[in-house]
């Protein structure tokens, strides 16, 4: 690569030592070959050059996505200035101010820990920077110690904090309409850095303001304690294990040995809703008690946070406690529960049986069939079966098999030959399964998959082929998902979580989706929500969570 760089109307720079890599690009020191006067600004003798190859992920047949973000954010508080940009040879190049060490470097030089007072200064300044970034309609998407830099050592800004690397930034606010972007979840998409990512990012949910703040909370705790409880996982399912651990670690445990404000901050940001506007002033006020009152002695300048305070007279405002305390989530205590879903229907005959042992199954089904009922739904808890039988299925004939093999292939193939289709399935902890197949379903073709992790990639592939999920279950940690053609659904989405995904389900309900299948392992719960092709007369749906089978509620 030529060691001379010149883009747009910039001076000529000589490429020197590498400073690091950020997102999809590499960053080098550039030194002017002649002239120049200042240490920072467009006329600086030394600058930072961010090079991105035109074939890299960030450059989709054009300048890097990050350039658009810098254009929208030019002059934004705490974001470094871009002085020149352009293409030279195969590289897109940004010319920016040289900055000092990252918070990671500072943490390392302090013996891999940091005083809570210094972390509090970082907290209030970082919240201010994120507030200004969010005000412009963007979320950063990769908040971590490596992406916060101090100003150039020996310069006037050496104690000033900057947020760099906008390669993963995205809009939380639509540029045209000014509305919040829509909620979505794509469990196969992960963006960010595993150690600091929010739980929602792990689960593939659309990024919003809460995610930057959750990553900041993990960053602060890391700087003080020197490690996070989920460090050290390896292997293909690292992201899954880290997310599970994040969900299972209570704020008390995570913030032990940290002063109270850090726990308050973590609790506040992990309880936020998808489109909730953060109360930045309140978040900043948590840390006031830890901040050195004497300005010259502060390790980090907190101009941004002070500006917020000056508007109101001082840094901390006494917030009226008009807010309802929120229900705490992520308590770290696993629970087993029944989740039942109720759909409003015209009156019809329906009966339920639960805690049914293998040997008693047959008599319940035969009795139901005699009364003109078919099985509409099966489930399993603690190796016992539960079934719902009713008169509203529209089936004309039904067979079922109880097998010690999870979704016994030979039997299923045999029934497909006779034009039976899988209408409901349940798997038990011991690996056995109950498969119910019926005639009179609308289905024209079926396919099913067994998988040790939730098979979202397969589901996504099958959606493109015109299939929809029509039933699913788990046996132990193994998922079984059945997809059918001609399902009667026009669209389908997935909600996958380590807890009951209440917010996601409510958002989907508001968009006209209804739960049509669900299953859970000991770790995860998955809900399939669908939009029916034919508008239902009454489309009310409720869910209930109970510790025992909800027999009284069903009635």
Where are the alpha helices (H) located in 275-340, listed in sequence order?
280-285, 303-311
246: annotated binding-site residue? no
Strand pairing category for 13-22 and 25-32: antiparallel
**41, 52 contact by CB (below 8 A):** no
Residue ranges of the alpha helices (H) in 427-498?
Answer: 456-464
User: Whose CA is closest to 97, among 114, 124, 75?
Assistant: 75
What φ, ψ does residue 94 adopt, rounded to 5°?
-105, 135
Q: Using CA of residue 275, residue 276, residue 280, residue 284, what is the dihedral sign? A: negative
The backbone torsions φ and ψ at residue 548, rounded to the nearest 5 degrees and listed phi first, read -120, 170
CB contact at 8 A, 394 and 440: yes
Cα angle vertex 376, ends 375, 380, to 5°? 80
Distance set, CA 212 to CA 181, 255, 467, 483 (Å): 16, 19, 36, 36
Q: List, in sequence order, every residue forming a beta bridge with 344; answer none if it has no partner.
A: none
- Distance CA(202)–CA(187), nearest Å, equals 8
- Please state, in angstroms and as integers, the Cα–Cα distance from residue 291 to each residue in 111, 234, 286, 301, following that order: 22, 38, 10, 11
User: Residue 9: which region, alpha, beta or left (left: phi > 0; alpha: psi -120 to 50)?
Assistant: alpha
Q: Kind of pairing, strands 4-5 and 161-163? A: unpaired
Which residue's entry shows tokens 């195969």?
Answer: 90
Q: Hunting for tokens 């001076």 — which residue is that?
A: 11
Instruction: Verify whether residue 142 is a known catalytic residue.
Output: yes
Token pair for residue 1?
Answer: 């690569």
Crossing angle between the packed helical segments 260-270 and 209-225, to the nearest 10 degrees: 150
CA distance 547 to 337: 5
**Of 97, 142, 165, 211, catalytic:** 142
Q: How many helices (H) and strands (E) does the chain have?
A: 15, 24
Q: How far is CA 477 from the centre of its chain?
A: 22
Could you tell me the end-to-end alpha-carbon distance of the chain, in angstroms, rounded to an integer? 75
Q: Which long-range contacts (CB under 8 A, 24 or more apart) does 87-92 make?
A: 87/7, 87/54, 87/63, 88/2, 88/5, 88/6, 88/7, 89/1, 89/2, 90/53, 90/54, 90/55, 91/1, 91/51, 91/52, 91/53, 91/54, 92/51, 92/52, 92/54, 92/59, 92/63, 92/64, 92/67
CA 372/CA 214 separation, integer angstroms: 54
Nearest to 274 by CA among 507, 509, 513: 507
Residues acting as catalytic residues:
142
Binding residues: 50
Binding residues for ATP: 50
């Amino acid at each position: 690569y030529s060691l001379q760089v010149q883009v747009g109307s910039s001076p000529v720079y000589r490429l020197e030592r590498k400073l690091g890599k950020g997102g999809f690009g590499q960053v080098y020191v550039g030194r002017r070959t002649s002239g120049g006067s200042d240490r920072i600004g467009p006329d600086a003798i030394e600058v930072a050059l961010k090079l991105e190859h035109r074939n890299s992920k960030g450059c989709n047949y054009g300048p890097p996505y990050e350039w658009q973000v810098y254009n929208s954010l030019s002059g934004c508080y705490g974001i470094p200035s871009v002085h020149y940009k352009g293409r030279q040879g195969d590289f897109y190049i940004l010319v920016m101010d040289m900055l000092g060490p990252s918070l990671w470097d500072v943490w390392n030089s302090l013996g891999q820990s940091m005083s809570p007072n210094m972390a509090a200064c970082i907290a209030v300044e970082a919240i201010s920077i994120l507030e200004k970034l969010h005000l412009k309609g963007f979320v950063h998407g990769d908040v971590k110690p490596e992406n916060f830099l101090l100003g150039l050592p020996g310069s006037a800004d050496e104690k000033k904090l900057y947020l760099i690397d906008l390669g993963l930034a995205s809009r939380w606010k639509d540029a045209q309409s000014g509305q919040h972007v829509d909620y979505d979840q794509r469990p196969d998409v992960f963006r960010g850095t595993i150690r600091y990512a929010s739980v929602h990012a792990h689960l593939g949910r659309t990024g919003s303001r809460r995610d930057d703040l959750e990553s900041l909370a993990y960053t602060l705790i890391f700087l003080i304690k020197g490690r996070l409880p989920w460090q050290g996982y390896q292997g293909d399912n690292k992201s899954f294990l880290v997310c599970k651990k994040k969900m299972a670690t209570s704020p008390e445990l995570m913030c032990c040995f940290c002063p109270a404000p850090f726990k308050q901050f973590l609790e506040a940001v992990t309880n936020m809703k998808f489109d909730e506007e953060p109360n930045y002033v309140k978040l900043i006020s948590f840390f006031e008690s830890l901040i050195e009152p004497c300005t010259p002695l502060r390790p980090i300048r907190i101009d941004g946070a002070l500006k917020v305070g000056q508007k109101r007279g001082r840094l901390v405002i006494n917030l009226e406690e008009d807010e309802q305390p929120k229900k705490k989530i992520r308590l770290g205590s696993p629970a087993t529960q029944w989740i039942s879903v109720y759909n409003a229907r015209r009156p019809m005959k329906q009966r339920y049986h639960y805690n049914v042992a293998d040997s008693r199954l047959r008599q319940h089904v035969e009795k139901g069939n005699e009364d003109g009922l078919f099985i509409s739904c099966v489930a399993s808890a603690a190796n016992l079966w539960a079934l719902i039988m009713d008169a509203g299925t529209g089936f004309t004939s039904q067979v079922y098999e109880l097998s010690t093999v999870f979704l016994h292939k030979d039997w299923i193939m045999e029934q497909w030959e006779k034009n039976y289709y899988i209408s409901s399935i349940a798997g038990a902890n011991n690996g056995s399964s109950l498969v119910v197949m019926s005639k009179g379903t609308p289905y024209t073709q079926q396919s099913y998959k067994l998988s040790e992790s939730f098979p979202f990639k397969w589901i996504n592939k099958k959606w493109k082929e015109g299939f929809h999920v029509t039933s699913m279950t788990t046996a132990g940690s193994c998922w079984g998902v059945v997809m059918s053609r001609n399902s009667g659904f026009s669209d389908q989405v997935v909600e996958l979580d380590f807890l009951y995904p209440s917010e996601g389900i409510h958002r989907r309900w508001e968009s006209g989706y209804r739960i049509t299948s669900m299953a859970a392992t000991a770790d995860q719960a998955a809900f399939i929500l669908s939009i029916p092709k034919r508008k239902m007369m009454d489309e009310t749906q409720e869910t209930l969570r109970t510790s025992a089978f909800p027999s009284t509620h069903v009635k």
